[in-house]
Amino acid sequence: MSIGKLIALVVLLGGVLFLVLHLVDKPEGVLEISDVWPENDRPRERRDPIPFTRSQQCRECHPDVWREWYGSHHRLAYVNPEVQRLSKGFQDRDCLPCHLPRPIPETGFGYGIRPLERGAAREDGVDCFTCHHFPKSKVMLAAGPLGPGAANAPCQPAVAKIVQTPNLCAPCHDQHKVHQEWLESRFAVAGDGFKDCNSCHMPEVERKRAAGGPRTGRHHGFPAAHDPAMLRSAGSMTVTVAGQRRLLVVVANDGTGHNFPADERHRAVDLHLIVHTADGRRHDVRVARFRNPYRPDFEYVNPLPKPGDTYPADLTIGELGYAKVIATRIAASFHPVRKVPYPQSTQIPAGEKRSYQITLPEGSVGATLRLWYRSNPFMADKDAVLLHEKVLEKL
């Protein structure tokens, strides 16, 4: 073989290898037109941008979806008073990309990709365009299948399965590692127990087709931490009387595929013990707080960093003395050793439990256990959501 042929062969092989490696290295989550429209099922060319700019315009054809979204916290993402206060009326501009996002398909799907903010339609928060608009192809993306009327629909719908995957949610909701927590949960394991974001936060609903007949759609109200029923289904609390003045309390994250509580660091779940005395007094103490501390909370210590860890504590119960508590972290059966994104977080990972063996002081005649959800750690009981309560009038 001549030297020229040899060089040509090497260049060819090198080129092939380069191409393969280049394709493998394609940025994760960035949506190409070919991803939206499979080669063999490409609809007609979209030449003009879709003729809509506001979610209000989607209402005419999708009134039920629009109503659900309008009542959702996605819609309130910008105007929510708590968010307004925390961001000082969004003077903190870094909050805008997730509270007022432009179309996610424009910046890309998947975790590790940050969306960008839009300047208009601020009251709409996370709007229809955020999840459905793909400006590059001038279409609105839908999970499909599309009905017969879709071909002539003015919003120019196209099927893209990616919009029903966690990759759509991750650019905003993985800021606090919710997506990665889900990947560590049993919900992310393919099979019968598989559940993704939509399974819980966009439950299936029956809708009417424009051409008549039912179809299955997804609820656009996104029930989550602002929905008390959803919160109550996320975690459970069981209380067992284990002897004279002895209680066993177990708090479990048995309803979610992420930490409990999840997402923002200001969210807290508190376990409270209220001791009853014979003369009718009530002593209310916090037994545990489940929360991911802020970065500068240097004093915040997680007493149970690993599954199986245990720690003793004495809780002051007024003049009665102390309640003795032994707290234990119980691993998730399917996942005894898990990656923990934040070592100081006391949030309960999916499938895990915390048990509290409590010995009440003499003079305790009854007890109440309460599990509270607070959207910020300073929230008073009157503003918090009572998730579970167990009253033991007599011990």
Partner 1 sequence: MRRCWRSCSLVLIAFVLAACPTKTEGGGGDGSFEVQDPLTRRLMDPDATTDERIDRVLAEAKPGNTAALPALLRVMRHRSQAAFLVVSDGKARFGYRTVELRETQKDTRSMERVAAIVALEAINSPVALPDLVLALDDVNEVVQNHAARALVRLGNRAGIPTLIANLDNRILQRETANRLLEEISGKQGFIADAGWAERQKGLAAWQEWWAGIQASDERLPIEGRAYQIGADAEADRRIGFFVDVVGQYQFLFHEQARKALIRIGEPALPFLREGVERARKDDNATTRAGIAQILETIDHPNGRELLRDLLTDASGSVRARAAEAFGNLAGKGAIAALQGVLGDRDPGVPIAALDGLGRIGGADALAVIRRYVPGEDSALQEAHILATFAASRGREQRDRTLAMLLGVSIATRNAAHAVLVRITGDDAGYDSLATESARKEAMERYRGLLGG
Is 235:269 a contact under the CB 8 Å cutoff? yes
Contact flag: residue 51 with partner 1 (CB under 8 A): no
Q: Interface mask (CB under 8 A) for partner 1, residues 281-320, using x and -? A: ------------x-x-xxxx--------------------
- 8-state DSSP, 148: G
Triad 384, 390, 391: Cα angle to 5°: 110
User: Which of 4, 51, 81, 280 is in the footprint of partner 1 by CB under 8 A?
Assistant: 81
Nearer Cβ to partner 1 (211/378): 378
Instruction: Output 174 or 352, the one with its CB closest to partner 1.
Output: 174
State yes or no: residue 121 binds partner 1 (CB under 8 A). yes
Q: Which is nearer to partner 1, 94 or 284 (CB)?
A: 94
Q: Which tokens in the block code for residue 32?
A: 């190409």
Give yes or no for a contact between 249 and 238, defined as CB atoms under 8 angstroms apart.
Answer: yes
Q: Which is nearer to partner 1, 70 or 300 (CB)?
A: 300
Q: How far is the CB of 189 from partner 1 (least distance, A)?
A: 18
DSSP output for 181-229: HHHTSGGGSSSTT---HHHHHS-EEEEE-TTSSEEEEE-SS--STT-HH
Q: Can you tell me which of 105, 115, 217, 307 binds partner 1, judged by CB under 8 A?
A: 115
Instruction: Pick from 8, 33, 63, 114 the residue near partner 1 by CB under 8 A.
Output: 114
Tell me: does residue 266 bind partner 1 (CB under 8 A).
no
Q: Identify the H or E element spanning 19.
A: helix 3-24
**How many amino acids of this chain bind partner 1 (CB under 8 A)?**
54
Distance of closest approach, residue 199 Cβ to partner 1, in angstroms = 24
Q: How far apart are CA 11 and CA 344, in angstroms?
A: 53
Residue 10 near partner 1 by CB under 8 A: yes
Q: What are phi and psi of 145, to 5 degrees?
A: -70, 155
Residue among 393, 327, 388 nearest 355 (CA) = 327
Cα separation of 141 and 159, whole Å? 6
Q: Does 9 bind partner 1 (CB under 8 A)?
A: yes
**Of 239, 252, 323, 340, the one binding partner 1 by CB under 8 A:** 340
* Cα(370)–Cα(239) distance, integer angstroms: 10
- Using CB under 8 A as the binding rule, whether residue 33 contacts partner 1 is answered as no
- Of the candidate spans 86-94, 238-246, 251-259, 279-287, the one that interacts with partner 1 by CB under 8 A turns out to be 86-94
Long-range contacts of 199-204 (CB under 8 A, 24+ apart): 200/230, 200/256, 200/257
Site membership for partner 1, residue 337 (CB under 8 A) = no
Of 49 and 228, nearer to partner 1 (C-beta) is 49
Q: Residue 51's closest CA among 162, 133, 160? A: 133
Q: Which stretch binds partner 1 (CB under 8 A): 37-45, 118-126, 155-163, 324-332?
A: 118-126
Q: How far is the CB of 273 from partner 1 (least distance, A)?
A: 27
Instruction: Tell me which residues touch partner 1 (CB under 8 A).
Output: 1, 6, 9-10, 13-14, 17-18, 21, 27, 30, 49, 53, 78-79, 81, 84-85, 89-91, 94, 102, 106-108, 111-123, 171, 174-175, 293, 295, 297-300, 339-344
